[in-house]
Structure 1
Amino acid sequence: MNDHAGAPAPDAFREIPPTTLADVLGRGQVMDLGIRPLWSPTPRVAGPAFTVRCPPGDNLMVHAAIHRAAPGSVIVVASGDLDHALAGGNVCAVARRRGIAAFVADGLIRDLAEVRAMGFPVFARGVIPFPGRKAAVRPHNVDVRCGGVDVRAGDVVVADEEGVVVVPRDRQAEVLRSARTKLAKEAEEDLDAWEAAHRLRIDALLRDGGVEGGLDGALDG
């Protein structure tokens, strides 16, 4: 289903937890656990991806991206370099001042104390004090792979302490509808009802797996 022409505003996804989006989209749209918030508590962010590709040891195109990305964008960086920082305190400060929503980087940053103090959300693999050089010119907004997920410019990136999920740009309306429906259904179900349904389900699965008596049966080895 292609809903790109009538795609919702990216801000609408800020109300949707990554856990719900992961349930709707599946594992393939969830970045690996190495891409994590570098300070806590980090607010949930949602915005269209502005994609950047940097070769190992170089961060020129990240420095360019903070001046080219539109306000509200999430700058998504494909690098994989674990020896050099892609950005530091001043880069994050300018990004924040220009309205960039967050960095999501398959790589490292530096000046974490400054970034934390200014409250700029960064999701990355970690921190290193040594910066990269600035020499390699690469195009922006090409397809990249970040945290094991293919990301295209305009995909919506939703991230918080639960993880980072990428909503494909041609499925945004469909995914938002499904996520809202799922959240509404969950809100109507209290814990007692959930527990009862859960017990029935797990009991049936255990019986199907050969456990006589289900939950009340013996599971001893």
Structure 2
Amino acid sequence: MNDDEQSSGGGATGSGRADEDRTYDAFRALSPTTLAEAVGRAQVMDLDIRPLWGPAPRIAGPAFTVRCPAGDQLGLHAAIYRAEPGSVLVVEAADARYALAGGNVCAIAQRRGIAGFVMNGAIRDIAEVRASGFPVYARGVVPLPGNKKTVEPFNEPVRVGGVIVHAGDIVVADEEGVVVVPRDRAQDVLTAARLKTAKEEALTLDEWEADHRARIEKSLGEAGFSG
């Protein structure tokens, strides 16, 4: 692997890396609310994966996937030294009884340029994490750390919040939720989301209301409602 290649799901070189960065910037400009309609329900994480402090900054970047066995945090701790800057660590935890990371691990991840954590587990030291401004989307907070005994291969498919995530998929998260855009659908989803945003921004509230009311009345009629 040369110096320009990525290890977090499909390397890129030279202008290819610049193109990918522009793509992530473009997704960061779009709300998960808009993206969810473009990508479909299967790619939207369950509501128990939520920001652990707020207001949560929006993150967007390629998934670096990690799987942690029950009670073990070694995989995540190793991943912060292996994921490329800009990556979102997506962690499938076997349980949430033990914290996968604390304040120092989050601080190191932040210093190394990792965009944030998305996990179906828990962390600790939330006050430190909040003060540092490091984005964590997870199930909750628990004070007891896990062990560091077992590690599974990185960048294998994981299931977090009901969504199957592959390395290199684009993860977009903020206080509205977490959306995973499959890498091979990225440009189509981006185009659809941009068109929807442009259409909505072009409408005044009065115009939106008129269109909305017309659609509601049509749906009521189709449902047989006459009141």
TM-score (norm 1): 0.92
2:78 is aligned with 1:55: no
In 1, the alpha carbon distance for the partners of 2:184 and 2:225 equals 44
Match of 1:28 in 2: 42
In 2, the alpha carbon distance for the partners of 1:18 and 1:80 equals 26
Match of 2:198 in 1: 184
Cα drift, residue 80 of structure 1: 4.0
Q: Deviations over 1:154-182 (max 9, x none)?
A: 00100000000001011111111111111
Identity of aligned residues (%): 65
Match of 1:205 in 2: 219
Q: Secondary structure at the match of 1:140?
A: coil
Q: Deviations over 1:23-59 (max 9, x none)?
A: 1011100000000000001110000000000011001
Pairing partner for 2:51 from 37, 47, 59: 37
The one-letter code matched in structure 1 to 2:103 is G
In 2, the alpha carbon distance for the partners of 1:204 and 1:184 equals 24
Q: Higher mean Cα deviation, 8-17 or 38-47?
A: 8-17
TM-score (norm 2): 0.90
Match of 2:103 in 1: 89
Match of 1:98 in 2: 112
Instruction: Work out which of the two has the higher radius of gyration on C-alpha atoms and give 1 or 2.
Output: 1
Cα drift, residue 150 of structure 1: 0.5
Match of 1:74 in 2: 88
Match of 2:170 in 1: 156
The one-letter code matched in structure 2 to 1:57 is G
Match of 1:111 in 2: 125
The one-letter code matched in structure 1 to 2:112 is R
The list of structure 1 runs, each at least 4 consecutive aligned residues, that deviate by more than 4 angstroms after superposition, is: 5-8
Q: Secondary structure at the match of 2:184?
A: coil
- List alignment gaps of at least 5 residues for structure 1: none
In 1, the alpha carbon distance for the partners of 2:159 and 2:94 equals 10
- List alignment gaps of at least 5 residues for structure 2: 1-15
The one-letter code matched in structure 1 to 2:132 is M
Cα drift, residue 9 of structure 1: 2.6
Q: Secondary structure at the match of 1:172?
A: helix
Q: Secondary structure at the match of 1:90?
A: helix
